[in-house]
Structure 1
């Protein structure tokens, strides 16, 4: 079973980096914080790039 990315919305600073890197998976919601809108929208390595580059480490994998 594939891993699912999750965003800690309390920690998100709305930098938009994950959306810029992987718009197929991440978007900013109505409150302006990142959320996962399509967990299977991109390969895991591309999602991992967003996880690795998040300045507040608010994106992680959930098994």
Structure 2
């Protein structure tokens, strides 16, 4: 699975970073999230799915490779 983040939709809530810190981080200057690991390990996919579910802007999705 590949993690995709639509940065223009991001509202900088940081929820993704809290639940999946190995996959997401936030820029210091504006708090907008970015993907650290586009192809995370299988053991982190549950965390990524939670990030997708709780993102208030619906800016994250998992795509098949």
Residue 3 of structure 2 corresponds to: 5
Which is richer in helix?
2
Mapping of 1:11-50 within 5 angstroms?
A: 11-30=9-28, 31-39=30-38, 40=40, 43-50=44-51
Q: How many residues are paired up?
A: 61
Q: Structure 2: which 5+ residue stretches go unaligned?
A: none
- What is the TM-score of this pair, normalised by structure 2? 0.81
Consecutive aligned runs of 4 or more in structure 1 exceeding 2 Å deviation? 29-32
Extract unaligned runs of 5+ from structure 1: none
Equivalent-residue separation in structure 2 for 1:22 and 1:45 (angstroms): 9
RMSD: 1.5
TM-score of the superposition, structure 1-length normalised? 0.83
